[in-house]
Structure 1
């Protein structure tokens, strides 16, 4: 006879410090899990307070309110007769830990602190938490009085322990522990633990989902077992989007899958599995290794069974094939969900975007349109929370959107900011795209404002700067470009604050930025120009990926206006036209192509290359296209531009994190912003290497 058990895991859209609604979402997930017959419910990492509390974890309030929520959960009738596994910060012996708390019927069974911390990329867990590095050690934890009064317990087990029910054994991993070469599930599996749980706050990154799925499948391929994965969903207050993907795996196969991008605040994934399948799988593969473990897991016993008579007649979940999104789909969905969370939680009434008719701002516009498509579909699927939020944002309690284009007109304002240096082509491209997505569109001429500012300068100095094309110096040319860009930023915020007021509507608009990750690498934008905004959905996405995304949007959303945008050369349009045509292009201004920049960015951040090491790698990678001398020139040019403009990263608009070579100074890329731009020692090493190569190659 099989031993069927039904287990539940979930993705929750928690919000940092939103204790009230975080608790409601936790309770709702438990209620759904019980309705599906589950006897074990797993939630995301730090779900009570929200994962992104950052330095709020230092505050005693955060610990206090987390215990207050735990008390409410313990007392709720919803949490009875099911093992609940929730996440919260806990201080033990004056040390702060990231913990899982497992409880059943008003009794805390155990507290399991995180043992291996995430401390790279977007994560700084060691700043706030200590790892529990005492393998197999369990101590007594003295519960706060408010919890003692509910549970009748004075102390509970705290440490590296597992839960032993009447019919199986459950062990915990927390997020980064799965990604570690010393993952706890390895030893737990060899010690007879049959069900592994992983509570995560894992963010979306382009082309990353397959790594997560492969790791979970691998965790149970080697030694068998059931693996439950829970994850945070949504924007909980920062630059990352947690992308769900709750799942259940058995013996190397995925048997249940949640959505990666979804507007549901609560998603519960359940699976019925046969524990005998795990035992049979291990009997053949693992028996020689399981006979003797030098340090067995500390087992906390509970008089409770995950198997019920109802489970006996349920069909078990069978293996399924995971469907991965393409990068273009990820760009369409991830930033769109992030924007929606930000909008509905910001108290604002929509977005405003300076739409130039180029690839970057058009990509941002398409992502907003994709957001409206997702909203309409969610409402069609009876998502009452989305409908409630839409009505609150548009200020109409009876409104129901009929189509994405109509909704876009209410939530999204675009404006083309023309100057004497703007071409009719870009103006028409912006107008056509705005018409197709349905945004409220404006044409604004900035010449009067620019001339007014230059007039102030001229009145004080008796000088009027000229563009290079009209005989001006480099300094004059750059200053004239920058003043146009900065005027656009001032006007964008003016219209964001007052355009709804002018239409007789309440609220303000969030200004959207549209600088891509490659331009940020070299600082190819004006500090405090129209790339300065409230948030930027494409700030972590490469130009190459954005072009692919627009090709996808042409077909997916039938936005034919994008064809002309893709065909046009990228340009800032800040210098005078020649015969009415654009004379300035981005790649010429930057001194390298976007594809070259993308490669350099990956070497700089992911491969940790300084100037010399980057040259050594690129001289081989680009040997068919460039000579060593040309490669050296490109590397030097990049690092000069990088060093000169690094200060811009200190004020860059908070951007959706999508690439692991992002130069975002505030969180992801911790490097100085004041450099010696000559790179004397480094460039001398490159020159020496070039000379040696030339001496060995007569063609060089």
Structure 2
């Protein structure tokens, strides 16, 4: 610690969900590694003793008892180590369950910092199991000893009194008033964060700026340890994005999607020097907040700001490529975990030659590469029927071969015809029964091949289809793991284009470009003169409009009238007002009526800020009434035509 430098570490260990014994061993290995590298402080992720994604298993006594025992074992492990350790653990106190960061040093549990802000939105539902920590710290009797328990506990080094450390947990730093603010005002010069922040599109940038900015605001060091691979991928993927910052500078940053330990040195003396010369850092106790009223005239505001036509797709090519690579990695990481966890011998993907199944096949191939497995264990199954065209059939076959998958062809026309006979359906009646019978037969074929090969059926449906309910219930709607479930259609297209652009195989590149040029279609009606007769966007509307509606309705909760106005403004050079209003009404009706399909979605990784999983992001009754949303659109077209 000469010249005020203190070496710190942020560690993401390999874990298994609910396997406390395994996790304890990995944490102890991390402590040994950090200590051997000379680190004096090491921080581990939130709830890493059990795994953050245990869900309702946190209510099980066997898990909590094991976690408490593990905490003592980890503390004992530090007895001969010259290091201060922070580790995340669930802890029951006075009949309530708390999310805790335990401070361990020289074989003892020094203190238990509680999480103040429990996220209960989107993919998070911590208040289902945990209780927010108390407002102020107090002592509790813990295994016969009085231990500090609560927020903003300060840990001060006897040999270096300037070194005062305080912990907060994940969401605490995302809140408007993080606990670390008060801790810093009381003297903490180093903030540590035990975190479990999942990976979604662009979240790494926001996370980096948040931690960097907090260290700048507090004129402090900040050590952020995030959960990584090993957590459940039922709905989320964790990337182990660890950060060490000092007064607004990123000193070290972990490579995402790779569990590791990062190190750097915090200059305590420099931080104290910065604080001393910053006259606004010390806040007066006499200062009180005041509220001052003001008034404005309510009138219509003329829009001048930019609203992207494709809000899910970055307009910048470089950023778009980065995002595509990120999404591919999140999708493949989620599938990789599921394949490994289930010991699946194969992956089964139904391929049609369309965008969604193409993306699913590419993701599956990448997951197999990550696992180091032979892609011959991917069964790419084409199932031609009444609406299949030669173009899509040939593209599906060529793509499977170029990816290295095992191509299987299972014609289903005879099976569907027999089914029509059995239920008394006239095959000349091209109604929804005619279409859905094909989709369900295909799903049955895929499921049976998966059973036969000891594998998993990989879902291909995307988020835009889920929003509209444009999927056959228990047909293409169902799978064993849906890799595209949180990817909107407009983004699917860019992902496939990205894959084509970077493909080294010229044959694969050619096929992918042709898939991109093929009209979107379920191909459930007979072709006309060999061409696709059924074009999805002619039936349900342009996907770029629906994705626009979806983004603003789900991401910001905008009412239909406001979305309509933004669409008029944004798409004035593409669609007239009647078209925009028509498809917005279609979107609202279908979004409400088709919720029952989203209520029983297969597992799949979340990749962006908007997702429709009923387990995390979107909880909606399947019989909710759409009337209020439709009324908001009544006679609104003429009104906004006048405004704009």
1:308 aligned partner: none
1:474 aligned partner: none
C-alpha distance in 2 between matches for 1:693 and 1:185: 47
- Asked if 2 retains the 8 angstrom alpha-carbon contact of 1:191 and 1:293, the reply is no
Consecutive unaligned residues of structure 2, counting only runs of 5 or more, are: 288-318
1:379 aligned partner: none
Q: 1:282 to 1:143 in 2, by over 3 A?
A: same
- Asked if 2 retains the 8 angstrom alpha-carbon contact of 1:234 and 1:338, the reply is no
2:636 aligned partner: 689
C-alpha distance in 1 between matches for 2:269 and 2:419: 78
1:162 aligned partner: 154
- Alignment pair present for 1:185 and 2:185: no
Superposition pairs of residues 322-471 of structure 1, within 5 angstroms: 326-376=322-372, 407-410=374-377, 412-458=378-424, 464-468=426-430
C-alpha distance in 1 between matches for 2:547 and 2:230: 26
Q: 1:354 to 1:235 in 2, by over 3 A?
A: farther
C-alpha distance in 2 between matches for 1:13 and 1:294: 49
Q: Secondary structure at the match of 2:235?
A: coil
- Alignment pair present for 1:654 and 2:619: no
- Alignment pair present for 1:141 and 2:140: yes
2:270 to 267, 277, 285: 277
C-alpha distance in 2 between matches for 1:235 and 1:362: 27
Spell out, residue by residue over 1:28-87, the C-alpha distance to the aligned partner (whole angstroms, 9 max, x if none). Answer: 221221221112110010001111111122222221111122232233368733212111
- Asked if 1 retains the 8 angstrom alpha-carbon contact of 2:15 and 2:23, the reply is yes
1:579 to 519, 529, 547: 529
1:540 aligned partner: 486
- Asked if 2 retains the 8 angstrom alpha-carbon contact of 1:481 and 1:575, the reply is yes
- Asked if 1 retains the 8 angstrom alpha-carbon contact of 2:349 and 2:446, the reply is yes
Superposition pairs of residues 275-314 of structure 1, within 5 angstroms: 275-285=268-278, 287-290=279-282
1:226 aligned partner: 221
- Alignment pair present for 1:72 and 2:73: yes
1:530 aligned partner: 476
1:493 to 441, 447, 456: 447
How far the C-alpha of 1:188 sits from its partner, in A, is: 2.1
Q: 1:619 to 1:567 in 2, by over 3 A?
A: closer
1:106 aligned partner: 107
Q: Secondary structure at the match of 1:687?
A: coil
2:55 aligned partner: 54
C-alpha distance in 2 between matches for 1:27 and 1:324: 40
2:594 to 627, 635, 645: 645
Q: Aligned-pair RMSD on alpha carbons?
A: 2.2
Consecutive unaligned residues of structure 1, counting only runs of 5 or more, are: 149-153, 296-322, 377-389, 391-406, 469-476, 501-507
Q: 1:156 to 1:133 in 2, by over 3 A?
A: closer
- Asked if 1 retains the 8 angstrom alpha-carbon contact of 2:321 and 2:498, the reply is no
C-alpha distance in 1 between matches for 2:570 and 2:408: 46
- Asked if 1 retains the 8 angstrom alpha-carbon contact of 2:78 and 2:107, the reply is no
- Alignment pair present for 1:213 and 2:208: yes
Q: Secondary structure at the match of 1:428?
A: helix
C-alpha distance in 2 between matches for 1:613 and 1:693: 10
- Asked if 1 retains the 8 angstrom alpha-carbon contact of 2:359 and 2:492, the reply is yes
2:556 aligned partner: 607
- Asked if 1 retains the 8 angstrom alpha-carbon contact of 2:114 and 2:168, the reply is no
C-alpha distance in 2 between matches for 1:368 and 1:492: 15
Q: Secondary structure at the match of 1:436?
A: helix
Aligned residues: 603
How far the C-alpha of 1:555 sits from its partner, in A, is: 3.6
Q: 1:632 to 1:567 in 2, by over 3 A?
A: closer
How far the C-alpha of 1:232 sits from its partner, in A, is: 0.6
- Asked if 1 retains the 8 angstrom alpha-carbon contact of 2:588 and 2:630, the reply is no
Which is further off, 64-73 or 364-373? 364-373
Superposition pairs of residues 248-259 of structure 1, within 5 angstroms: 248-259=244-255
C-alpha distance in 1 between matches for 2:568 and 2:471: 28
- Asked if 2 retains the 8 angstrom alpha-carbon contact of 1:235 and 1:241, the reply is no
C-alpha distance in 1 between matches for 2:286 and 2:61: 39
Which is further off, 629-638 or 337-346? 629-638
2:32 aligned partner: 31
C-alpha distance in 2 between matches for 1:671 and 1:3: 54
How far the C-alpha of 1:282 sits from its partner, in A, is: 2.0
How far the C-alpha of 1:248 sits from its partner, in A, is: 0.5
Q: 1:650 to 1:288 in 2, by over 3 A?
A: closer
How far the C-alpha of 1:604 sits from its partner, in A, is: 1.3
How far the C-alpha of 1:325 sits from its partner, in A, is: 7.8
How far the C-alpha of 1:375 sits from its partner, in A, is: 4.1
Q: 1:415 to 1:324 in 2, by over 3 A?
A: closer
Q: Secondary structure at the match of 2:594?
A: helix
Q: 1:636 to 1:79 in 2, by over 3 A?
A: farther
1:317 aligned partner: none
- Alignment pair present for 1:518 and 2:464: yes
1:313 aligned partner: none
C-alpha distance in 2 between matches for 1:209 and 1:243: 9
C-alpha distance in 1 between matches for 2:40 and 2:582: 64
Q: 1:198 to 1:453 in 2, by over 3 A?
A: same
Q: Secondary structure at the match of 1:643?
A: helix
Q: Secondary structure at the match of 2:67?
A: helix
How far the C-alpha of 1:89 sits from its partner, in A, is: 1.0
2:621 aligned partner: 672
How far the C-alpha of 1:372 sits from its partner, in A, is: 3.4
2:92 aligned partner: 91
C-alpha distance in 1 between matches for 2:275 and 2:463: 47
How far the C-alpha of 1:685 sits from its partner, in A, is: 3.8
